[in-house]
Amino acid sequence: MLSLSSLLQVLLAAVVARCIYLHFFHPLARYPGPLLASVVNLWKFLTFFGGEHHLVEMKLHAKYGPVVRIGPRSLAFSSLSAFDAIYGFNKHIEKEAHSAPKETWTMNIAPSIHRYTFDTTAALVFGESLSSQPYTDTKSAGNILIGFRNISKMAWGTSLLPLFGWLMSTRPMSRLTRRPTFDEQGNLTSIAAMIADTRDLALVHPEKAVKAVQPSVLKNFLQVPKEDTTHMSPDQIWRECFNLMIAGPGSTAAALTAVLYRLGSDQGRYWQDRIRADVSEEDSASVSTSSPVLVAVIKETLRLHAPFPTAFPRSIAAGAETVIPDLPTPLPIGTLVSSNTYILGHSKEIWGDDAESWKPQR
- DSSP-derived secondary structure letter, 95: E
* pLDDT at res. 309: 84
Segment 67-118, tens digit of pLDDT: 999 999 999 999 999 999 998 866 566 665 434 444 445 678 889 999 999 9
What pLDDT score was predicted for residue 154? Answer: 73
The β-bridge relationship of strands 74-77 and 188-189 is: unpaired
pLDDT confidence of residue 219: 96
Contact status, residue 165 vs residue 115, Cβ threshold 8 Å: no
In this prediction, residue 95 carries a pLDDT of: 65
Q: Using 50, 70 and 90 to split pLDDT, how confident is the model at 52? A: confident
Q: Check residue 2 and give its pLDDT.
A: 61
Question: CA–CA separation, 90 vs 21, rounded Å?
Answer: 31
Q: How confident is the model at residue 279 (pLDDT cuts 50, 70, 90)?
A: confident
Determine what percent of the chain is predicted with pLDDT higher than 90.
59
pLDDT at position 282 is 47
Name the pLDDT band for 44 (thresholds 50, 70, 90). Answer: confident
Write out the E strands in the chain: 67-71, 74-77, 93-95, 181-182, 188-189, 314-316, 336-339
Lowest pLDDT segment from 76-80, 115-119, 143-147, 177-181: 177-181
60: pLDDT strictly greater than 80: yes
Report, as an integer, the average pLDDT of 155-161: 69
> Other C-beta atoms within 10 Å of 197: how many?
18
| Segment 169-188 mean pLDDT | 78
Asked if residue 248 has pLDDT above 50, the reply is yes
CA distance from start to end of the chain: 72
Confidence (pLDDT) at 285: 55
pLDDT of residue 181: 85
CB neighbour class for 342 (10 Å; exposed up to 12, middle 13-18, buried from 19) = buried
pLDDT at 150: 81
pLDDT at 28: 95
Asked whether the predicted pLDDT for residue 349 surpasses 80, the reply is yes
pLDDT score recorded for residue 90:
63
pLDDT digits (tens, 9 = 90+) for 298-337: 999 999 999 888 888 899 999 999 999 999 999 999 999 9
Note the pLDDT of residue 8.
Answer: 82
For residue 159, pLDDT beyond 70: no
Single pTM value for the model: 0.79
Contact of 238 with 204, CB cutoff 8 Å: no
Q: What pLDDT score does 182 carry?
A: 87
What is the predicted pLDDT for the residue at 106? Answer: 66
In angstroms, rounded to a whole number, what is the distance separating the alpha carbons of residues 68 and 340? 12
Q: How much is the pLDDT for 101?
A: 40
| pLDDT band with cut points at 50, 70 and 90 for residue 149 | confident
The answer to whether the CB of 101 falls within 8 A of the CB of 266 is: yes
Tell me the percentage of the chain whose pLDDT exceeds 70: 86
Q: What is the Cα–Cα distance from 57 to 52, expressed in whole angstroms?
A: 9
